[in-house]
Amino acid sequence: MKKTLIVLLSSTFLSVSAQAENCEGFADKGMNCFKNNTPANANDVNQNFKILADEVEQLKTAQPPANSGAGNVSYIRWGRTSCPTDASLIYKGYVASGAHNHKGGISSQLCLTDKPTFANGDVSDGNQNGALLYGTEYETSSYGINSLKALHNFEAPCAVCLKPATISLMIPGTRNCPTSWNKEYEGYLMGTHYTQASSHEAVCVDIEAEKVVNSSPSSQNGNLWYPTEAQCGALPCPPYVQDRELSCVVCTK
């Protein structure tokens, strides 16, 4: 915005000084036109700058039409292979992170593409035991969310989505977006079990989560997703409820 205002003021000043005889449009704006080699009245000059200042204020407060120049934002839809109807799919893949029982390694949750490529000739298939990446299983058979029980031990997919908007936000603890925000999807907050050695970030897993196609219900025990429960104390109850599973929502604006 600063650059725009400087250009606007500079171009107007040049039109007054260097191109003083060109008065096109001045009268329409109520501005005074100054002729070459003639004295300028201070009130007339001030009036011109007052008109310019008013236009600048209008530019600063003007609201663009919906989605006009808004650009795009991306977000991950955890637990699904597709995007909502008003968003487009960038790619889909598999949820991956470090193993639940490792003390080190990768702690972030990644949406690993289902179409990998490799730097052939520069990589090795030998076991170097550096950072290790594992797939993710749902741990939902007895953790309070009936609709997800059938996914127990199956691998979790993910989708990276593109939406015309300016910002995306995941809000833990609610199913609803703030006023004037758009809901992309709602779900359940999930993460690592509190007793496990590795601590991974929490993610919002879609309320209608699905499994990776052709995945197995046998336990591979890589990265594990558990529903998240509220624990009262430092966390105020109400509004939260002891041991109740927490919802979440992904919003855009």
What digits encode the pLDDT tens for the residues 229-243? 999 999 999 999 999
The verdict on 190 and 230 lying in the same domain is yes
The verdict on 77 and 55 lying in the same domain is no
The verdict on 103 and 137 lying in the same domain is yes
Least confident range of 7-21, 28-42, 68-82, 175-189: 7-21
The verdict on 57 and 133 lying in the same domain is no
pLDDT for residue 168: 94
User: Which string of DSSP letters, residue by residue, matches 160-224?
Assistant: EEEEESS-EEEEET-S-PPTT-EEEEEEEEEE--TTSS-----EEEETT--PPTT--SS---SEE
Domain span at 200: 72-116+129-252
Average pLDDT over residues 187-207: 86
The verdict on 111 and 53 lying in the same domain is no
pLDDT for residue 19: 45
The verdict on 23 and 94 lying in the same domain is no
User: Which string of DSSP letters, residue by residue, matches 7-31?
Assistant: HHHHHHHHHHHTTTT--TTHHHHT-
pLDDT for residue 210: 95
pLDDT digits (tens, 9 = 90+) for 61-118: 655 555 445 589 999 999 999 999 999 999 999 998 877 666 766 667 899 999 988 8
Average pLDDT over residues 138-155: 87
Residue 145 has pLDDT above 50, yes or no: yes
pLDDT digits (tens, 9 = 90+) for 106-128: 667 899 999 988 888 777 777 77
Specify burial of residue 147 (Cβ count, 10 A radius: 0-12, 13-18, 19+).
Answer: exposed
Among residues 41, 61, 81, the one where a domain terminates is: 61
pLDDT for residue 102: 64
CA atoms within 13 A of residue 29's CA, in its CB half-sphere: 17
**204 vs 191: CA distance, rounded Å:** 9
Please report whether residue 122 resides in a domain: no
The verdict on 212 and 192 lying in the same domain is yes
pLDDT for residue 7: 43
Residue 53 has pLDDT above 50, yes or no: yes
Residue 188 has pLDDT above 90, yes or no: yes
Encoded tokens for 50:
């007052």
Provide the number of structural domains found in the chain: 2
**217 vs 51: CA distance, rounded Å:** 71
Please report whether residue 173 resides in a domain: yes
The verdict on 29 and 154 lying in the same domain is no
